[in-house]
């Protein structure tokens, strides 16, 4: 699921453009009807006058499930899934895929400048604890350096290494290890909602 930020801003523009042309009349207030004083009696309430609403014009279709802009969910959505990028075994260099994902993260972080994030570096279980702490730290620093190169103010980004302490997948196989070798951009403050 990859909706690029550029596509979204076009959609927003289209929506506002449509909103200005065919003037939608405000829905009229329903007249307030005083309830009859004898509440214990089986009196029928006066029916509300029916007001015909003007016809609704079809606006541009947008994803009804799209998260609130500026929220953590929105960050994940714009970043193309969970904001984690993945590394090779005992590697801390960025793959092309990781760079692409980080560019999207950086764009979002540039849009919402009040947001701060903690970059968490993680390693898979096939390494000893202390070495993996150093490896995780390098991964986190690599992610931070790339985001900073894309214009994110370094003071908004903190890094932490969890080594192999925070696996997201318990499986001891290639797929599980690959998921656990990641850099996670964890929004710490400033997100909407």
One residue of 83, 119, 127, 157 binding another protein per CB under 8 A: 127
Stretch that binds another protein, among 41-49, 50-58, 97-105, 141-149 (CB under 8 A): 141-149
CA distance 59 to 77: 23
Residue 180 CB, nearest distance to another protein (Å)? 9
With tokens 């996670």, the residue in question is 184
131 binds another protein (CB under 8 A): yes
Stretch that binds another protein, among 1-9, 42-50, 69-77, 121-129 (CB under 8 A): 121-129
Residue 82 CB, nearest distance to another protein (Å)? 14
138 binds another protein (CB under 8 A): yes
93 binds another protein (CB under 8 A): no
Beta bridge partners of 116: 189
Q: How far, in whole angstroms, is CA 124 from its chain's centroid?
A: 26
Q: By CB neighbour count within 10 A (0-12 exposed, 13-18 middle, 19+ buried), where does 115 fall? A: buried
Angle (nearest 5°) at CA 80 between 94 and 95: 15
- Rounded to the nearest 5 percent, the helix, strand and coil shares of the chain are 35, 15, 50
Which chain residues interact with another protein by CB under 8 A? Answer: 90, 118, 125-131, 133-135, 137-138, 141-142, 145, 158, 160-161, 165, 167-172
């Amino acid at each position: 699921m990859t909706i690029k930020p550029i596509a979204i801003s076009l959609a927003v523009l289209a929506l506002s453009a449509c909103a200005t042309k065919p003037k939608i009349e405000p829905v009229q207030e329903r007249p307030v009807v005083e309830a009859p004083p004898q509440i214990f009696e089986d009196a029928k309430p006066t029916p509300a006058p029916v007001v015909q609403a003007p016809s609704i014009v079809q606006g541009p279709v947008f994803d009804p499930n799209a998260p609130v802009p500026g929220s953590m969910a929105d960050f994940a959505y714009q970043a193309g899934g969970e904001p984690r990028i993945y590394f090779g075994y005992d590697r801390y260099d960025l793959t092309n895929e990781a760079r692409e994902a980080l560019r999207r993260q950086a764009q979002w972080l540039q849009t919402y400048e009040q947001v701060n994030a903690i970059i968490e570096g993680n390693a898979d279980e096939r390494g000893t604890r202390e070495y993996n702490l150093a490896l995780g730290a390098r991964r986190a620093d690599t992610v931070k350096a790339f985001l900073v190169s894309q214009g994110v103010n370094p003071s908004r980004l903190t890094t932490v290494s969890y080594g192999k302490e925070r696996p997201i997948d318990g499986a001891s196989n290639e797929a599980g290890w690959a998921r656990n070798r990641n850099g996670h951009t964890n929004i710490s403050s400033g997100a909407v909602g």
